[in-house]
Structure 1
Amino acid sequence: MVITRRWALFLIAVGVWTWVIWPRFGVAIYQDDRSFADGSPTSFLVVHAVLIAASLAVGSTVGVLGVLAWRRRPAEKSAAEAAVGPKD
């Protein structure tokens, strides 16, 4: 499968977006009154922590794949270069 640079950039952006959004959401969940009962974590906190961890793992994987695709794929040729064909 060939991934264009445009798609690679999109995957990188998704990975970055994941790391911008989810940690802040984690802080908000941790500070929520429903996260602890008598000093112990509640199922509310545990479920959200699992969701955040899974999202960060998926986002990291997508971002890494984007970086690998970006590094592997050469820049696309312009329309003029493609029309001329290969040089001998």
Structure 2
Amino acid sequence: MAQTVEISLRIPSLRIRREGKDSPETIANSDVRFSKRLELDAIPKAGEVLKMAVSSGETFECDVVRSEWHHEKNMFVVACRYSKRSIS
């Protein structure tokens, strides 16, 4: 039976080299979460890998950190993090 869950995705900080500057600038994303609701056959457990898609059709993997029931939303919220060390 399919269950609707909300994916709460944490992404890594970005290091960007700006024109005219010698050292790269860090953009901290520690307070930013991207959310998406999905229909899944089972609630994912910590350590599982989910394949996500962006609007352009490209896919990426994210690691499940935990799954918790959220009373106000009346659904499971699955906390995930981007699988790779950096975004390219």
Range into which the TM-score falls when normalised by the shorter chain: under 0.3
Please identify which structure carries the higher helix content.
1
The answer to which structure, 1 or 2, has the higher relative contact order (CA under 8 A, 6+ apart) is 1
Please identify which structure carries the higher strand content.
2
TM-score for the superposition, normalised by structure 2: 0.22
TM-score for the superposition, normalised by structure 1: 0.22
